[in-house]
């Protein structure tokens, strides 16, 4: 297990047993957790919470001689991201028939960078809903048989890898390309279609896992800039805890005071479907980091009265937020 996983599991265990009254910083993290919990179905959260507590106990690393053993006696799973493949992905091994798929029994799954447009890789691995994720991967249709006349689109997009870890120390890698041939390859030769579905399901499950936990006590220091940030597929703009304002392009990043971030986030929490928007450019972008270490962003829509965020959502700018955004825009010019 890596250092981040160890800390995350300790936090999960701490949440599962009685604790002394919260200090101010932990109370703030609990507030983030409670805010997210209100935005999901209670039944779903309770179900995930029960599984997470069990997973956290099973993953406990002791300080004794059996430090590599989980509480249930199985070997603790450590999954790290592999190198990004050097060769361009082509589904040359596609036979038109599905292979054996991802083996059952995995206890963790980690999302990693693949070949393609980079994204902000989540720091935490998935340890709940693994069977669901495996079923999603194995349920994908077989990729059409690759032949001499087969070709791929010449576009750009994100490439990802999901590495499944097993108690015996083995792993199974799944690659997906949200561009070009748009293929999913399981274990190197089982080629499937629809990488979007697997990508979306992983992000959804990771969010559900987080909704039942406190964020980690600390994450790597934020490195926020205006130069085309790599955003996280699991991050939510409404969870940002620190942020910078970008007026346009790769201009100067203006740090946003914490009290102003809180006002902006309160508006983001009232977001709704983005719907149909007018086509025009209005400068303004906020790049932030969440308590989970995710890089997120939100940008002005035409006119600046509404701002776009992830999942085809948008939030409306309140008078208080407008005053903040106007001041930041003036500072950035």
**How would DSSP label each residue in 6-64?**
HHHHHHHHHHHS--PPPPHHHHHHHHHHHHHHTTS-HHHHHHHHHHHHHHHHHTPPPSS
- Percent of the chain past pLDDT 90, that is, above it, reads 67
User: What's the pLDDT score for residue 89?
Assistant: 77
Alpha-carbon separation of residue 58 from 74, 76, 133 (angstroms): 8, 8, 20
Q: Is the predicted pLDDT of residue 60 greater than 90, yes or no?
A: no
Q: Output the pLDDT for position 223.
A: 87
The mean pLDDT of 279-292, rounded to a whole number, is: 95
CA-angle at 181, arms to 175 and 186, nearest 5°: 25
Q: Name which of 66-75, 227-236, 322-331 the model is least confident about.
A: 66-75
- Residue 40 has what pLDDT? 40
Contact 307, 301 (CB under 8 A): yes
Task: Inform me whether the pLDDT recorded for 20 exceeds 50.
Answer: no
Q: Residue range 230-239: average pLDDT?
A: 96
Check whether 329 has a pLDDT greater than 90.
yes
pLDDT at 48 exceeding the cut of 90 = no
**Axis-axis angle for helices 3-16, 42-58 (nearest 10):** 120
Average pLDDT for 253-278: 96
Predicted confidence (pLDDT) at residue 285 exceeds the cutoff of 60: yes
Cα angle 124, 128, 129 (rounded to 5 degrees) comes to 125
Share of the chain above pLDDT 70, in %: 77
Q: Are 195 and 183 in contact (CB under 8 A)?
A: yes
User: Average pLDDT for residues 195-223, to the nearest whole number?
Assistant: 95
pLDDT of residue 46 exceeding 70: no
Res 42 pLDDT > 80: no
Taking residues 93-119, what's their average pLDDT? Answer: 96
Say what the pTM is: 0.77
Average model confidence (pLDDT) for the chain?
82
* Paired residues of 246 in beta bridges: 285
Contact between 148 and 139 under an 8 Å Cβ cutoff? The reply is no
Q: Is the pLDDT of residue 163 over 70?
A: yes
> Tell me, what's the pLDDT at 78?
82
């Amino acid at each position: 297990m890596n250092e981040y996983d160890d800390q995350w599991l300790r936090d999960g265990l701490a949440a599962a047993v009685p604790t002394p009254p919260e200090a101010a910083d932990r109370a703030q993290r609990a507030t983030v957790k409670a805010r997210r919990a209100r935005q999901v179905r209670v039944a779903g959260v309770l179900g995930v919470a029960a599984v997470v507590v069990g997973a956290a106990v099973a993953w406990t690393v002791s300080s004794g001689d059996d430090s590599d053993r989980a509480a249930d006696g199985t070997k603790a799973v450590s999954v790290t991201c592999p190198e990004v493949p050097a060769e361009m992905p082509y589904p040359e091994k596609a036979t038109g028939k599905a292979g054996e798929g991802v083996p059952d029994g995995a206890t963790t799954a980690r999302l990693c960078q693949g070949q393609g447009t980079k994204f902000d890789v989540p720091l935490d691995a998935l340890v709940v809903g693994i069977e669901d994720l495996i079923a999603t991967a194995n349920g994908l249709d077989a990729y059409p048989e690759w032949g001499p006349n087969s070709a791929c689109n010449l576009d750009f997009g994100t490439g990802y890898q999901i590495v499944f870890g097993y108690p015996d120390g083995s792993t199974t890698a799944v690659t997906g390309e949200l561009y070009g041939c748009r293929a999913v390859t399981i274990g190197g030769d089982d080629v499937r279609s629809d990488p979007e579905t697997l990508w979306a399901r992983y992000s959804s499950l990771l969010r559900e896992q987080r909704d039942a936990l406190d964020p980690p006590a600390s994450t790597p220091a934020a490195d926020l800039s205006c130069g085309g940030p790599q955003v996280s597929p699991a991050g939510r703009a409404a969870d940002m805890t620190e942020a910078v304002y970008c007026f346009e392009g790769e201009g100067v990043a203006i740090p946003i005071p914490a009290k102003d971030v809180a006002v902006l986030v309160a508006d983001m929490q009232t977001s709704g479907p983005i719907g149909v928007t007018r086509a025009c450019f209005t400068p303004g972008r906020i790049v932030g980091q969440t308590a989970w270490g995710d890089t997120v962003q939100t940008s002005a829509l035409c006119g600046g009265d509404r701002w776009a965020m992830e999942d085809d959502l948008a939030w409306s700018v309140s008078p208080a937020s407008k005053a903040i955004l106007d001041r930041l825009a003036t500072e950035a010019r």
